[in-house]
A and B are shown apart, each in its own frame.
Chain A
Amino acid sequence: MVTFKDFRNNVKPNWCPGCGDFSVQAAIQRASANVGLTPENLAVVSGIGCSGRISGYINSYGFHSIHGRALPLAQGVKMANRDLTVIASGGDGDGFAIGLGHTIHAIRRNIDMTYIVMDNQIYGLTKGQTSPRSSAGFKTKSTPKGAIEPSINPMEMALTSGATFVAQGFSSDLKELTSLIEQGLNHKGFSLINVFSPCVTYNKVNTYDWFKENLVKLSDIEDYDHGNKESAMQMLMKHDGLVTGLIYHDSEQPSYQELIDGYDEKPLSHQNLNLDEDYFNHLVKEFM
């Protein structure tokens, strides 16, 4: 019986004490065990930044890639071996600044995988510059008089990009976060889970206490229907995106894999590379 301990390795994270990313690491390990994965059948692909290190802190196949490029790399892994469970992960700079283009296209492509963003509204590893998730007025080393650009709203953006699974968690609520990741892993399609994961060193505004005061839990709202995109959008706009829980889920839409013409049920990585001689000769003849 696989437990979350099987997803632990012997590497000590280089995150600051109190960093929200520890909870994300624990939630991934627990959710993976809870849905019955084995370490060898899980691939965690991450970007660059403090959060990007997470692929090295989970006992599974891990690929720490390029800043902003975790998503296309992870999609390539899944296309090659559809039997693997693929988690992509990174920070808000990774997914909503340098890699935003990939994020939107990964959402609309809907390949069966889970994307977990550790959102701390700041650039931590480069020691405190503004992020596309920083609120207007937020003072950092790169915005000494306060950010003048509005923040990106990733959940609303996901809904308008055709997302089939949109959820948001908070590092302080490990139970809910684990449950959301489990649901994301079980979803047949692309699941986006944004996690408020406070940076205790450089973000003195969006702290654990600040989130506790401001976050609304969707599970506390009676009759909230995560199958209704319109009400999901209204809920996000009403609370300025500060909600946690399963925001939207479309369980009907087939994943990309199910829609591609001819795509084999057997993983491409397990296939014989040799081309049948008759088929080769047929291809040659087409040019004559």
Chain B
Amino acid sequence: MKQQLSWKVGGQQGEGIESTGEIFSMAMNRLGYFLYGYRHFSSRIKGGHTNNKIRVSTKRVRAVEDRLDILVAFDQETIDVNYHEMGSGGIIIADAKFKPVNPDDCQAELIIVPFTEIASGLGTSLMKNMVAIGSTCAIMDLPVAVFTGVLQETFKRKGEVVVQKNMEAIEAGFRSASELLGEKRGSHKLAEADGIQRMYMIGNDAIALGAIAAGVRFMAAYPITPASEIMEYLIKKLPALGGAVIQTEDEIAAATMAIGSNYAGVRALTASAGPGLSLMMESIGLSGMTEQPLVIIDTQRGGPSTGLPTKQEQSDLMQMIYGSHGDIPKIVLAPSTAEEAFYDTIDAFNLAETYQCPVIVLSDLQLSLGKQSVDPLNYAKVQIGRGKLVSDEGELDELEPKQYFKRYELTEDGVSKRVLPGMKNGIHHVTGVEHDETGKPSESSLNRQMQMDKRMRKLEHVELHKAVDIDNAKHGEADILLIGFNSTRGALEEAQQRLEADGLKVNHAHIRLMHPFPADKLLPLMESAKKVVVAEHNATGQLASLIKMNVGMAAKIHSLKKYDGTPFLPSEVELLTKELI
């Protein structure tokens, strides 16, 4: 029996490939397996190859697997594009309808099952996906009954008859494939899972749920891949909490609207991807200059310009840290898993209010859209901190006639008391023009220096739990230190294990606080490593540059870059690391 397998379903976009993967993985999740999914799709509605690769394991997995065990094909392109991932022992199950052909050099076995014909015989060819799932059960020696609950939930609105028909399609697929598979039947049986119930969610779900837990009651956003799910989730959930979502005319409006809402006292969110963030740069500057809290989610995708809108990349890093003209205080977080995305979104709001500055939560397409198993999130860990926000108006001293409240009072830590519109003794002015302590415009050189120093001083003490995650850095002295951020965590972890198995001493550090850069946390690890390998999804080695700027040791830093739109596989990190050193 196997401890894990990788399953992939592929076909033309718009023919139910995503829902096939969804139903398969939901059932696996409920059995207690750990899942990690990744969707390959294109920027079009119908047509074009799409596939959904799902790794199922008895242990936690956080990366797309190198190899593929079972491929469910609804067209020849799916076989042609994906068979190279398969070794001997692999099984392709394909719909007889398109007369599948196994490429000469394919090591996997091709089993042709009449998916469409069986489904049509049961009433509608639409159920070919269910026949394919039943066929999968035959390969995995999985009782079809595990799908009953999932089907009932998926099709309950369509009625009991539809649920029954789909169940019959799964059973028919199971029977047909069982005969055709011969001795390969049950060849990919998985060891039993722990049965523990976990959440199965994409990173965007975790971010959206984190926002709700953080107290977000308003969102302004413009649709974009791969961020839209955050807005869509909040549109579903905020009405029950009295809140609202506005789909704005563009990302400029989204960011400025969020600033206006935060200024008036609600926790407001916006989310976008690279092109939207480019439009938000001016607003980010306004937030920094006027010391208004602002949280923006950036789900990175392939750039530049429209780039690769549906593909993985991590090339917004430098723009998120240094974007917007002039000098402002800003915080940039980069969660690596759905669980971290949830907690970091909450932290982002606390940091934005504590330091009264823009906070960017950096995600990437693999994290935002990849579906993964997550241990149930902990309500007790949700803490809300609003910094120096004046919650009780009674705390304010009465203003002298015609005098304004010192919203930008010079303080030791740089953070001033924040009041909300509506408070009688809090009246003040806010402007993106350089201003004095009450917010009135001032061009005085002395005032300028003092206010700039005050703003920048705020970031001297930013603390984040696990600013650098060093759980995988156990060696006092290491041959190699692997460094990454966002969703590359799983690939780096597995590569580390493999390199260790080859006798190398390898540490792994994953950076979660990108700015202000936690140089002091990274320094000792880098000092004690012979070589440092920085793995990232961009062409210019942005993280490597950042490390060189902040920590130094340029000579021992090796850059491992991938920017072809696909996520790092553990084997790629392993082999490229070996080549680099």
Residues of A within 8 A of B (CB): 8-11, 38-41, 43, 45, 48, 53, 55-56, 59-66, 69, 71-81, 83-84, 101-102, 104-105, 109, 260-264, 266-271, 273-275, 277, 280-281, 283-284, 287-288
Nearest CB to that of B264 among chain A residues?
A80
Residues on B with beta carbons closer than 8 Å to the beta carbon of A40 = 421-424, 426-427
Say yes or no for B246: interface residue by CB 8 A criterion: yes
CA distance A40 to B396 in the complex (A): 13
Q: Across the interface, name the chain A residue whose C-beta is closest to B216.
A: A273
For window 422-439 of B, CB contacts with A under 8 Å fall at 422-424, 426-433, 439
Q: Are A105 and B248 in contact (CB under 8 A)?
A: yes
Mark interface residues in B197-223 (1 if CB within 8 Å of A CB, else 0): 111110001000100111101101000
Given contacts A101-B249, A262-B239, A274-B215, 17 further A-B contacts (CB under 8 A): A59-B402, A61-B427, A62-B439, A64-B441, A76-B263, A76-B268, A78-B264, A79-B261, A84-B422, A101-B253, A262-B244, A264-B243, A269-B422, A273-B386, A287-B199, A287-B209, A287-B374
Q: Is B377 an interface residue (CB 8 A)?
A: yes
The answer, among A53, A60, A78, A269, for a CB contact under 8 Å with B427, is A60
Taken together as a complex, chains A and B put the C-alpha atoms of A263 and B290 apart, in Å, by 28
Q: Are B282 and A81 in contact (CB under 8 A)?
A: no
- Cβ contacts under 8 Å, B265 to chain A: 80-81, 267-270
Q: Which 10 A-B pairs have the closest CB atoms?
A: A76-B260, A262-B239, A273-B215, A264-B242, A269-B265, A80-B264, A76-B257, A64-B431, A72-B253, A80-B266
Which residues of B sit under 8 angstroms from A45, Cβ to Cβ? 260
Q: Is B175 on the interface with A (CB-CB < 8 A)?
A: no
| CB–CB A76/B252 < 8 A | no
Q: Whose C-beta in chain B lies nearest to the C-beta of A84? A: B421
Q: Are A72 and B214 in contact (CB under 8 A)?
A: no
With contacts A56-B441, A76-B220, A274-B384 taken as known, whether A64 is within 8 angstroms of B259 at the C-beta atoms is: no
Query: Are A287 and B260 in contact, CB atoms less than 8 angstroms apart?
Result: no
- A77/B248 contact (C-beta < 8 A), A9-B402, A40-B426, A41-B422 known: no
Given A81-B266, A263-B242, check contact A74 B260 (CB 8 Å). Answer: yes
Closest CB in chain B relative to A43 CB, distance in Å: 5
Q: How far is the CB of B380 from chain A (nearest CB, A)?
A: 9
Chief secondary structure at chain B's binding surface: mixed
Please determine whether A105 and B379 come into contact, CB atoms closer than 8 angstroms: no
The smallest beta-carbon distance between B472 and chain A, in angstroms, is 27
B176 at the interface (CB under 8 A from A): no
Residue in A closest to B202 when the chains form the complex, CB atoms: A287
B258 at the A/B interface (Cβ < 8 Å)?
Answer: yes
Q: A72-B260, A264-B243 are in contact. Are A288 and B199 (CB under 8 A)?
A: yes
Contact B256 A266 (CB under 8 A): no
Q: What separation, in Å, do the CA atoms of A11 and B442 have in the docked complex?
A: 12
When distances are taken between beta carbons in the complex, the residues of chain B under 8 Å from A76 are 218, 220, 256-264, 268
Nearest-neighbour CB distance to chain A for B231, whole angstroms, equals: 15
- Given the known inter-chain contacts A41-B422, A61-B427, please indicate yes or no for A80 contacting B252, CB distance below 8 A: no
Residues of A within 8 Å of B256, CB to CB, are: 65-66, 69, 72-73, 76
Rounded to whole Å, the gap between the CB of B238 and the closest CB of chain A is: 7
Distance (whole angstroms) from the CB of A106 to the closest CB of chain B: 9
B242/A73 in contact, CB under 8 A: no
Given the complex of chains A and B, what is the CA–CA distance between A78 and B263 in angstroms? 11
Distance to closest chain B CB from A79 (angstroms): 6
Chain B residue at smallest Cβ distance from A83: B422
Q: Are B213 and A275 in contact (CB under 8 A)?
A: yes
Find chain A residues with CB under 8 A from B217 CB.
268, 271
CB A96 to nearest CB in B, in angstroms, measures 15
Q: Which of B200, B240, B241 contacts A287 (CB 8 A)?
A: B200
Query: 27 A-B residue contacts at CB 8 Å?
Result: A9-B404, A40-B421, A40-B422, A55-B431, A65-B286, A66-B432, A69-B253, A73-B260, A76-B257, A77-B260, A78-B260, A78-B264, A80-B265, A81-B266, A81-B422, A84-B422, A104-B249, A263-B239, A263-B243, A268-B218, A269-B265, A271-B266, A273-B384, A275-B212, A284-B199, A287-B374, A288-B30
What does the 1/0 interface line of B263-288 toward A look like (CB < 8 Å)? Answer: 11111100000000000001100100
B420 within 8 A of A: yes
A62 to B201, CA, bound (A): 42
What number of residue pairs across chains A and B have CB atoms under 8 A from each other? 209
B404: chain A residues within 8 A (beta carbon):
9
Do A11 and B440 contact each other (CB < 8 Å), given the known contacts A41-B422, A56-B429, A76-B220? yes
Q: Kindly state the separation between the CA atoms of A284 and B201 in the bound complex, as whole angstroms.
A: 10
Specify the chain B residue showing the minimal Cβ separation from A10: B402
Contact check, B253 vs A77: say whether CB atoms are below 8 A apart. no
Q: Does B253 contact A269, Cβ atoms closer than 8 Å?
A: no
CB distance from A47 to the nearest CB of B (A): 11
Contact B200 A283, beta carbon cutoff 8 Å: no
CB closest residue in chain B, given A277: B379
Residues of A within 8 A of B213 (CB): 275, 280
Known: A76-B258, A81-B422, A269-B265. A101 touches B250 (CB 8 A): yes
CB contacts (< 8 Å) of A48 on chain B: these are: 432
Q: How far is the CA of A38 from the CA of B198 in the complex (A)?
A: 53
Across-interface contacts of B431 in A (CB, < 8 A): 55-56, 63-64
Q: Which of B264, B386, B429 contacts A77 (CB 8 A)?
A: B264
**B475 contact set on A, CB distance < 8 A:** none
Do residues A105 and B430 form an inter-chain contact, with CB atoms below 8 A?
A: no
Which residue of chain A has its CB nearest to the CB of B290?
A63
* Residues of B contacting A102 in the complex (Cβ-Cβ under 8 angstroms): 249, 252-253
Q: Does residue B376 face the partner (Cβ distance < 8 Å to A)?
A: yes
CB closest residue in chain B, given A38: B424
Min CB distance B258 to A, Å, is 6
Out of B264, B266, B283, which one reaches A66, CB within 8 Å?
B283
A109's nearest neighbour on chain B, judged by CB, is B246
Are B239 and A261 neighbours in the complex by a CB distance under 8 Å? yes
Report the minimal beta-carbon distance from B359 to chain A, rounded to whole angstroms: 16
A65–B432 contact, CB under 8 A?
A: yes
The residues in B between 371 and 410 inclusive whose CB is less than 8 angstroms from any CB of A are 374, 376-377, 379, 382, 384, 386, 402-404
Is B200 in contact with A288, judged by CB distance below 8 angstroms?
yes
**CB atoms of A105 and B421 under 8 A apart:** no
User: Which A residues are in CB contact (< 8 Å) with B422?
Assistant: 40-41, 61, 81, 83-84, 269
**Known A-B contacts A63-B430, A268-B218, A269-B266; A80 and B260 likewise in contact (beta carbons under 8 Å):** yes
Would you call A72 and B199 a contact (CB within 8 A)?
no
